Amino acid sequence: MDEKILFVDDEENILHAYKLALRKQYQLTTANSAAAALEMIESDGPFAVIVSDMKMPGMDGIEFLRIASERAPDTVRVMLTGFAELQTAVEAVNSGNIFRFLTKPCPAEEIAVTLESCLAQYRLVTSEKVLLEDTLNGSIKVLTEILSLVNPATFGRAQRIKEISQHIAVKLRLQEMWQFEIAAMLSQIGCITLSQSTLEKIYAGRELDEDEKTMLEKQPEVGRHLIEHIPRLESVAKMVENQSKRYVDYGDPVPIEKMSTEDLGAQILRVAIDFDRHATGGSTTEMAIQALQMHRKNYNMDLVKTLTDMDDGFSEMSIKQILVRDLKLDMVVNEDVKACNGLLLVIKGQVVTRPVMERLRQYSEGSVGVEEPICVMVHKYAEENQPVSV
C-alpha cells in the first residue's frame, strides 16, 4: 500500500465517504478543489492514481486532469461524474488522457476494481521507466568508465559537467532527468578524436592553432554521430550536437516549460560546460556566474540563475596528501596525477572510481610508477566511513 491515491471533489461528504469505504485498502489523500489538488501534486506527490469529479467550481475536472497530466505524466487518471453524456466522456478522455471514466453514484466495489486496474497500469509504466533509466545509465556508466581509463582528462570534465547539469535540472524540477544526465556524461565523447596534446592545451587554457580549433568545433557533431544510433538516445544526441549553440540563435525567448527537451538540454549543456571552464580556471561560483552574465547572448539567464547556490567544491571537504595504496572510493583528485614518465593518468577534479583506482595501482606497482603523494579532497562527513578500496 505504498502507492498514494488522490481523490478530488468539491463535496466534503463524498470525500468522507471515499475515505470511509477505501481507507483500509488504499493510502488515500483528498482535496476539495482542483487548485488544492494541484498544490498537493507538487508538495505531496507522486500519486499513483488521481480520481477527480467532473463538475467543480473554478476549474472543472477536464481542465484539472489536463494540467495534472503535464505535471505528473506517470500518474493514472480517472474521471468520476454525474453527467453521463457521451460527448463529455470523449472530451475528458481526449484532453486529459483519462484511463477510466466512471459515472456517479459509483459503488465502492466498482471504484476498488477500477483502482486495482489503475495501480497495475501505474506499476507497469513506472517499472518500464525505471528499467529504461537503469539500463541506459548502467550502459553509459560502463562507457564513461572506459573513457576514464583511455582519456582521464575528458572523463573528469564530463563528470563535472554532469554534476552542474544535475544541479540545474533539480532546481528547475525537470521531468525525464535521465536524459539531461546522460547528455552531460556523453557531452565530451567527441573529444576522442582530439590528440592528447590538444586536450592538454584546452584544459590548461592555452591558445589553440587553427587546425586544433577546427577539430574542437567538430567535437559536438562527432559526439552526435557516436550517440544517435543508440536506441532511445535520439534526443540526447541532439543535445550533444547543439551544446555550443548560442542562446540568441534559438530565436525569440521561450519559457523553460515550453521548450523542447532537445533545446533545453542543449542550453543546459552550454551553461554547464562554460561554468565548469571558469570554475576550473580558479573562479568562485559568484565569479563564474558573473562571467556568464557578461555574455547574455550566449546563455539562457534563467539557467544561469539556478547556479547561485552551486557549491564551490571545497566548503565541506578536507585536503590530504596520500599514497596510491591509500586511495578510497569517492575521493576527489585535487591535482593532476601523472606517471613517472609524464603520462597524464587522472585529471584534477576527477572522482575516484574503481577503474581509476585500478589504473593507478597498475602503474604504481609496475615498472613506470606514479608521482606520489597524490593530493585529494575528502568529504568531511565521509572521512570515517569511506569504503576500503580492494
pLDDT in tens, 200-240: 777 667 788 888 888 888 999 999 998 887 777 889 999 99
Which grid cell sits at 329? 572510493
Mean pLDDT of the chain: 84
Q: Which helix (H) or strand (E) holds 313?
A: none
In the structure, what pLDDT confidence band is assigned to residue 315 with cuts at 50, 70 and 90?
very low
pLDDT in tens, 39-88: 999 998 889 999 998 888 989 888 898 899 888 888 999 988 776 555 66
Q: How far apart are CA 233 and CA 237, in angstroms?
A: 6
Other residues' Cβ atoms within 10 Å of the Cβ of residue 215: 18
Residue 90, CB half-sphere, CA atoms under 13 Å: how many? 3
**So what's the pLDDT on residue 385?**
43
**So what's the pLDDT on residue 352?**
83
Q: What one-letter code names the amino acid at 249? A: D
Phi, psi (degrees; rounded to nearest 5) at 334: -100, -10
Which grid cell sits at 232? 532511445
User: DSSP assignment, residue 351?
Assistant: B
Q: How far apart are CA 322 and CA 100, in angstroms?
A: 62
User: DSSP assignment, residue 339?
Assistant: B
pLDDT in tens, 211-221: 888 888 899 99
Q: Residue 25 above 60 pLDDT?
A: yes
Mean pLDDT of 280-297: 89
Q: How far apart are CA 195 and CA 153, in angstroms?
A: 12
pLDDT in tens, 244-271: 999 999 998 889 988 999 999 999 999 9
* 313 vs 184, higher pLDDT: 184
Q: Angle CA(61)–CA(66)–CA(71) in degrees, nearest 5?
A: 120
Q: How far apart are CA 369 and CA 297, in angstroms?
A: 48
> By percentage, how much of the chain surpasses pLDDT 70?
86
The closest alpha carbon to 91, from 65, 71, 62, belongs to 62
Cβ atoms 7, 15 nearer than 8 A = yes
- For the chain, domains (ranges, CATH) are 4-125 (3.40.50.2300), 151-312 (1.10.3210.10), 313-390 (no CATH)
Model confidence, pTM: 0.58
What is the SS3 assignment for 8? strand
Q: How far apart are CA 44 and CA 40, in angstroms?
A: 5
In this structure, the dihedral spanned by the alpha carbons of residues 67, 68, 69 and 73, taken in order and rounded to 10 degrees, is 140
